[in-house]
Amino acid sequence: MQGRKIVITGGFGALGAATARAAVAQGARVALVDFAASAPADLAAALGEGAVLIGGADLSDPTLAEAAIGRAAAGLGGIDALLNIAGGFVWQTLQDGDPGNWDKMFRLNLKTCANASRAALPALQASGSGAIVNVGANGAVKAAAGMGAYAASKAGVHKLTESLAEELKGKVRVNAVLPSILDTAPNRADMPGADPSAWVKPEELAAVILFLASPSASAVTGALMPVTGRV
C-alpha cells in the first residue's frame, strides 16, 4: 500500500475511520469524503497533514459526487483505489414501516456507490492499478425480517459490483466485502443483549478491504467476499 492514493467515502464513520488509519499505517495517502460537515478531531490528528478531508459531500447527487471526488483526486494527485463505505441502515417491516425509507436506503447505499465510482473512473483508469472496493452486506444474501429495504439496496451494490467488474475488466478491479454485524458503539446500543465478541471489528473488515484494494489482489475482480466474524 506504500504510496497508494486512496479515496474513502463515509470516511468519518467507524469503518471509514478504521480503514483510513490502517491505510495510513501501511504507507498510503488518503482522502476522506463524508456527508458530515467535518471529521472528528482525533481522526484528523491521527491521519496527519497529508490527509485530504472533504466534509458536507452529498454523494447521492451525481453532480455533487463528481465535485467531491474531483477534489479528492486533486488533493492526492490521482486515485489508485476507491473504497465505497458510505451508507446507512434501517430496520422496519413492510407493513408498518415508512415507504420513504426504501428511497432512503437506495439513495444512501446504492446511489452513493454508483455516483462515486462513476466520478472516480477516469482517475482509476489512469492509475494503471486502479481498484474499487464496495461494502455490501451478508444480510443481503439471505434477508431477515425487517431487512427488506436495506437488503434490497445492498443486493443492488452486489450486482453493481459484478457488472462493473465485467465492464472494467483489464482496466480497474471491482470487488465487494459482505460483512455481518460490525462491532460499533451504535450497534452495541441497539442490541444490548447481544454478544459483540462474535461480531466483526471495524479493523478486521478494514484489513480485508485494504487487501482487495492492494496490488496483492491483482488477480481478484468481481468477488463478493463474506466477512462474517464468529457468528
- Nine-digit cell at 191? 442490541
Question: 91 is written with which cell numbers?
Answer: 430496520
How is residue 108 written as a grid cell? 444512501
Active site residue 224: no
Given 12, 35, 102, 150, which residue is catalytic?
150
The residues carrying an active-site annotation are: 150
